[in-house]
Structures are given as C-alpha cells and as structure tokens.
Amino acid sequence: MSWNVQGIVEDALVSSTRAIQFDRDGQYEVAAFYYREAARFLELAVSSTADDGNKESWTNKAAEYKMRAQALDQLRLNQQAAEQPMVQSESQKQLQQCHFLFNQALDADEAGNKDEAVQLYTQAVELGISAMSSASDPELQNKLNFLARRALERAEELKGIMPQCEEKPSSHASVRPKLCPVPEHTTSNVTVRATAAANRGAVKPQLHRGSSAHLKVAGGQETYTEEEKRVLLQTSHINQKEYVPFMSVDLGERFQYSLPFTDRDGHLALSPKQRRDFARWARPDEICPEPKMVVGQHVDCFSIKQTVVSDCSFVASLAVSALYERRFGRRLVTSIIYPRNSKKEPIYNPFGKYMVKLHINGIPRKVIIDDHLPVGKHGELLCSYSTNRGELWISLLEKAYMKVMGGYDFPGSNSNIDLHALTGWIPERMAIRASESDFNADALFDKLLSRLHKGDVLVTVATGEMNEAEADRSGLVPTHAYAVLDVRKIKGVRLLQLKNPWSHVRWRGNYSELDTKHWTPELRQTLNFEPNSAAMFDNGVFWIDYDSILRFYDVFYLNWNPGLFSYTYCIHQSWSAGTGPIKDAYNIGENPQFRMEVQPGASGAVWILLTRHIKQIEDFKENREYITVLVYKNDGRRVYYPYDPAPFIDGVRINSPHYLCKLVLNENSAHHYTLVISQYEKTNTIFYTLRAYATCPFTLAKIGSPYKHTQKVSDGQWKGVTAGGCGNHPTHLNNPRYQIKLESSHNNNQILLDLRGPKSYQIGLEVICVVASDQNAPGIFKKKHSGPFRSGFVVMDLEDVPAGTYDIIPSTFMPNQEGPFILTVKASCQFSLARLQ
C-alpha cells in the first residue's frame, strides 16, 4: 500500500505543534500524547518514502519527541505522587463505618425488618463508643457521639425499652419516608408471576426460570428437575472457585464486620503488564479521602478508562451500559452491585465487602469480592477506573468479572459475552460481510438507528486483523472493541459515534476531528460538534461514517432488552461426549432435542438462545466447541437425519458461548417445532442452557425417549446368499431376518430400529407384520419400509404399534454387497428378539 508521505509529515507537524503548546501550558499528559503522535507519523513517513534525503532528520526528530514524552510522563507521575491525598485516620474510617451501619439500620427499619434494624443500630452504637475512646479530634468525637446516641435511642424504642413520646422529638422522626425505587427493568404491562417474600426467610428460596422480573415463565415445569440442579451445581465451579446461583435470600447478605473484609479466595492473579508496575494492593480509603460508589446522580460513560488489563470488550460494555442509564434514567449495570441503600442505589462500604450479580452459565450468580485494588509504583491504579476521583463502580465491577474469569490475566472475550454477564440482555452477533450478496448493510444500519434510540439494544463494534501501517494511518486498533454511543442519519449521511475504551487513540479518516472536507456547518450544528475543539485533546470519542465501518470493522455485537418480550422459559442440560457420533454429518438422532409449541395462529417472535457453560479460562483462550441450534418444522417429533427433513433454520456453528436463533411468526406459521442442539465435533461433555423469549405464550420441553428396553445385534452380516439386496431383486427374501415379539397388552407401543453398515453401501429396513394381537387396532399394518436407502445408516421409528409378532429385514440396495452390520432395536414395552435366517 502506498501512502501520501507529504500528508503524513503534515500530520506530524500538526501533532508536534499541539504538543509544544500543551507542554508550555503545563498540560503534560496531553503534551506527551501529541509528542508520541508526532513521532509515530514521522516513523510512518520514514517507512513509506523512498527518498533518503529526509529519513535521517525525521528519525532523529521522532526520537527527540519520544524522549520528551517519556520525560513528561515521569514528571506527571512525580507530581501525582507528591499530590497524593492524606489517607483517612483510623477514627475517620470508623466514623465512615458508623455512618454505613446507621444507614443500613435505617433501611432495615424502614422496610419493617425490626430484628435486623435493632442489630445494626446496636453495632453502630458499639462502634461509635469504641471509636470515641480513641479519637483525639473533638469535632470527630462529637460526630461519633451524635450517631451513637441516635442509634441507641431508636434501638431502645424498637425493643420497647423507651416509650415513644410525641412531645419529645426522637430519632424515629429522622427515619426516612419510604421512597419509590428506580425500576431495574423496562416497564411492562405483563403481570409478574412471583415476587420475593417481603420478610426475609419467610419462604425457602428457590431457583426460578425467569431471567427478568417482568417476564412470565411460559408453559413448562416451573421448578428445576434434579438433572438441571446437577448441571447448575457442576457449572457453579468456574476456575476452581464456586459461584452459587443468586437468590432472594442473598439480598440479606451481611456487609459489616469487626475488621475490614478480605476475600477468602485471595488476591486476583495479575497480568504481565500489571506485574511489571505493581507496588501493592490498596483499599479505596488508602488512595483517596472520600471514596464513593457513584459520583453524581448517574454513572458517566465518558469517565471510564481502561488501563493495562486486556478487557477492551468489557470496558466498552460498561460504557454502553452507563450511557443507557444516563439516557433513559433506568438503572442497569449499577443494579447488580451490593450493598445498596433504600433507593436501591449501590453505596460505598467502608467495611470493604461487595456482592455483584452476574449472569453466568445460564443464571444470575453471586460473586463476592473485597475492595483491594492493584496500585502501581507511582500510586496509579493498574485496573480500569473512573476519571471522577474516588468513584469505584468501574474498578469493582471489573474486579468481580475478572475474578470469575480467573484473574486480571484475561485473554479477552467479546461484548456479547460481557454485556450478557452484566445485564442479562440477549446477545446477538452480526458479522460485517460487505462483500457478500446476502449481507444487507442498509437494513443493519436502519435497525441500529431506530432501535438504539429506543433503548431496545446495547451495541459495540469490533475491528478485525490489520497490518501495522493500516492501523497507524487509520488510527484504529486491530481486534479491538469500541462502544457505540450514537447513530445518526443527517441529509443522507450515516454516522456512528464510537468510544475507544482506552480513552485515547481515535479514528483519523472521514468525519474524524482531522477531516476538513466533510464537516459541513449543518452537520456541526446538528451534532453539536466542533472539530477544532475536539482535536485539542484525544478522549477516544469520535464520529465515523458507516461506509468506513463496513470497510475497517469486522463485527457488531448487539445485546437486546428482554423487555421486548413477555414470556420466557429455560432448560439446563448436559451433553455427554460419548453420546452419538463425533460429527453430525449423517445422524443427529442422539443429539439433545426439544419440542416447542406456540398457539395456532399466533403472531410475533420467538428468540432461542443457546448458552454453553464455561468452567475454565481455557474455554476463552482455546475454544474449540462449535455449537448451534437447528430448527425443524417436524411437528415436534425427534429428527434423525440432519437434512431430512431439511431444517427450517440451519444454524451456523460458532465457537462463542452464545448462539441466538430467531423465529418470526404469523397466522400461517407452523405451531410445532423441533429444536436440535448441534456441535461441529463432539470431543468433550458440555453443559448448556436453552432459553426462549417470546411475545406470545409457548411451551418448551425436552424430547425424551419412550424406549425402556433395548437389544443389539452386533454380529450381523450380509454374506453370500444373504446379501440379497432390496425388494426390487428376487434375492431380497434371502436377506438376514429377525423376529420381534412385543410383550404388551396395548396398541400404542413404540419401536425404534437403528441399522448401521458400511458407508459405501446404501442400506434400508423393512418390517412385516406376522400377526397382531388386535386386528382392529388403528395402527395395524402389513408392511412398512424405512424409506430411501441411505449411506451406512438408517433409522425406522414406528408409533402406535399393536402388540404382536413382526419380522425385520435389513438389506443393502444392491445384491451381493457383503459386509457387517449392527442392528439396534428399542421398544417402549418388553420384547423378545430372535434371528430367523
């Protein structure tokens, strides 16, 4: 690829001019960034030109700029170290803990939990008295005394020791009125099937098949089967740690201790980049004077900054979740952090313990962490953090997620996985295949434009592989996730606003802040964007046109709001590696299969999400499990051949933990479907969850096996005269013949015949009724055939078979085709099987 060297040098000049100006103004971080940008452009010019005349001067200047950037970095770090805030004294920490206990007591008091409130008030009194004895500051002593007195008065009042007196104002008047909580989920007119008991412990907690509070659990068994409980127990163990299902009883988790809480699982493993600069683990009150969970009324996507942890997709997921909260006023990502106050807002806990609810392995799970964070040699945080000083939600959510994933040494995932874990929203992957005829780029943009603004979807977009020169020139990072903040269409111009999780390094092409050609006055005014102002500092946020997205990016990750649906149901299962053939090329009869039924004439949508459970970090590093869902219009019956009948939806096998399949229904649609789980190669036992979301009522159930009795003929063979061929040949009657006698008093027996032979032969089965016990049975027949002869494998499934005696004839299509075969006979009733010839 040839570059415009003159343009690259001009870019270097612009960057160096800005660097020098910021350097003079004392803005060292910005100046260092632009010095490095100038050096990068000069190095690119050197590698792109054949003119040796300027190479030496450009190389020397690039080295000079990089040295100045390093010097400014060191100067800035020295300043930060000198400006480190005074850490809290032990008495100040105890005052903060006393406040926390008192506020928790007020919340319990307000909720009517008398015993819990008394216990918390008492703890606040004891801590306040203890702290007063050691505090030397009179003002601090007064604050502790005031809190302890209020707590004591209210505790005694609740215990009936001190009668309530209307004339004397008591601390009871300070108990806050009950406030309406901010809704955690999209509002819906759907009736909630069940809610948690008002009083903790009143009802034994149970796992529930719903995934959001508003969704009705569709037709099917509401409680989990023993098999499902075993699956959920097995996959509670992730990376050698246990993460149990999150249940209503966990809302009573204890967050206050006599000593600051330390996670019994120990510190998280650090990444190599973290270990290089690591100095210590520190709690928030050791690195800032007033830690807060959230600064201000809402979380801010622009304050999120990724550092040295390789989790760009996770940080991008935090950004789009934070933007959703601010834009729509509904808590999403902050609703999963505990402890919370009575308004269900997450709060800073001076005792250092936090609980995070993550959707992992099919259900919400409970993740406990402490507040130790990795700190570098110059006092800088070595994890993602908020640029709002003292704000913790970003660092704590990242720590909880990294704990589940095995530590900060994280190989990376994608935003579908990360956003589903954070929010439970439905993941969908949309590959950008601009060169393929069936890829509808216009429809995709229109979907993003309309649905993002409604709050129906959270979106990130990721680049693919790029060579170094292309990445340098475009300003994009290869294989990197970006948060999609906005989508606009103005006078035919299609634009997206993206944010790099690094909070620096931006797009340099069309509609970037460097573009002097495309930014019309109307566009600037409509988007409230001034390129010259934006160019003054790189915060990682930029506009880019949709055509450039299609050229430089690889995939959109969409996570859909479950509030779009009214009904849900899920099933948790395992699939043994030894069940069925390794590949699904010719036989899927032993694959897990499910029957789904919708009401006749129903219109709407059913989305089916297959989630493979993760147990080891290697599942991300070297994921070789390719899974999908196949959908058949087969009246809900078991399917044996992958393409007979042809699948209604032939799923693409992907090595992501999530696969989404969509059905759109109208009044003429089928109302019985068969869902088949499929893998590219079955090498390991997998655990998975199959969940359906629908706008109309439906039922979903596993297709079980009615066959209680099995016999296998392992030594069958066509040889010599017994290689008789199909019924078109007079030698057909010479084929091996077996007789089965159904020992039953019913007429609704079921038989399954499974014949396997050399793949080079076309083989088939024939069943002849010798005698039926009930000649008037509706299912009686004289002869039945397995249908078209098939290569090496054929199945015959017979229903409503009357009790009696039947002959089974396995054959090849052509006579004189000699070879072994295996015949397996299964039946719903007892039977005897004998060879006749």
What's the pLDDT tens digit per position in 745-804?
Answer: 899 999 999 999 999 999 999 999 999 999 999 999 999 999 999 999 999 999 999 999
Token pair 């009044």: residue: 667
Please report how the helices 138-159 and 114-134 are oriented relative to each other, as an axis angle in degrees rounded to 10.
150
Contact (CB, 8 A) for 96 and 143: no
Alpha-carbon distances, residue 229 vs 246, 392, 475, 572, 607 (angstroms): 14, 35, 49, 8, 24
User: pLDDT class for 319, splitting at 50, 70, 90?
Assistant: very high
Q: Which residue has the higher pLDDT, 183 or 473?
A: 473
User: pLDDT class for 211, splitting at 50, 70, 90?
Assistant: low
Give dist(CA 114, CA 193) in Å, integer: 28
Q: Are strands 541-545 and 553-560 parallel, antiparallel or unpaired?
A: unpaired
Q: Give yes or no: 312 in active site.
A: yes
Q: Active-site residue among 420, 480, 572, 613?
A: 480
User: Which residues are within 8 A (CB) of 262 and not within 5 positions of it... i.e. 6 or more apart?
Assistant: 352, 370, 372
Domains and CATH numbers, the chain: 5-82 (1.20.58.80), 90-164 (1.20.58.80), 244-423 (no CATH), 426-560 (3.90.70.10), 565-702 (2.60.120.380), 709-835 (2.60.120.380)
Token pair 């299964």: residue: 826
Average pLDDT estimate for 417-439? 94
- Kindly tell me if the per-residue pLDDT of 148 is higher than 90: no
Which residue in 675, 667, 670 sits closest to 603, CA to CA? 667
What integer pLDDT is reported at residue 371 of this predicted model?
Answer: 96
Which amino acid is residue 779, in one-letter code? G
Q: Active-site residue among 349, 414, 500, 634?
A: 500
Q: How many residues does the chain have?
A: 837
Instruction: Please provide the DSSP assignment of 132-156 as one string.
Output: HHH---HHHHHHHHHHHHHHHHHHH
Backbone angles phi, psi at 698, to 5 degrees: -155, 165
User: pLDDT class for 212, splitting at 50, 70, 90?
Assistant: low
Report the phi/psi class of residue 276: left, alpha or beta, with left for phi > 0 and alpha for psi in -120 to 50. alpha
Token pair 């008065």: residue: 153
| DSSP-derived 3-state class of residue 11 | helix
- For 563, which DSSP code? G
| Cα angle for residues 394, 263, 184 (degrees, 5° grid) | 40
User: pLDDT class for 274, splitting at 50, 70, 90?
Assistant: very high
Q: Active-site residue among 98, 312, 383, 661?
A: 312
Q: Provide the token pair at 203.
A: 């009802």
Give dist(CA 391, CA 377) in Å, integer: 21
pTM of the model: 0.82
Query: In the Cβ-directed half-sphere of 641, how many Cα atoms lie within 13 Å?
Result: 17
What integer pLDDT is reported at residue 188 of this predicted model?
Answer: 34
Q: Give yes or no: 480 in active site.
A: yes
CA distance from start to end of the chain: 75
Q: Give yes or no: 732 in active site.
A: no
Give dist(CA 210, CA 228) in Å, integer: 15
User: pLDDT class for 155, splitting at 50, 70, 90?
Assistant: confident
Give the CA radius of gyration of the chain. Answer: 34
Number of neighbours of residue 424 by Cβ within 10 angstroms = 21
Alpha-carbon distances, residue 110 vs 103, 128, 156, 350 (angstroms): 10, 22, 16, 22
Q: Which residues pair with 395 in a beta bridge?
A: none
User: pLDDT class for 625, splitting at 50, 70, 90?
Assistant: confident
- Summarised one tens digit per residue, pLDDT across range 79-123 is 766 655 556 677 777 778 877 888 888 888 887 888 888 888 888
What integer pLDDT is reported at residue 179 of this predicted model?
Answer: 28
Average pLDDT estimate for 692-709? 94
Give dist(CA 196, CA 248) in Å, integer: 6
What percent of the chain is helix, strand and coil (3-state, nearest 5)? Answer: 30, 25, 40
User: pLDDT class for 523, splitting at 50, 70, 90?
Assistant: very high
Contact (CB, 8 A) for 246 and 364: yes
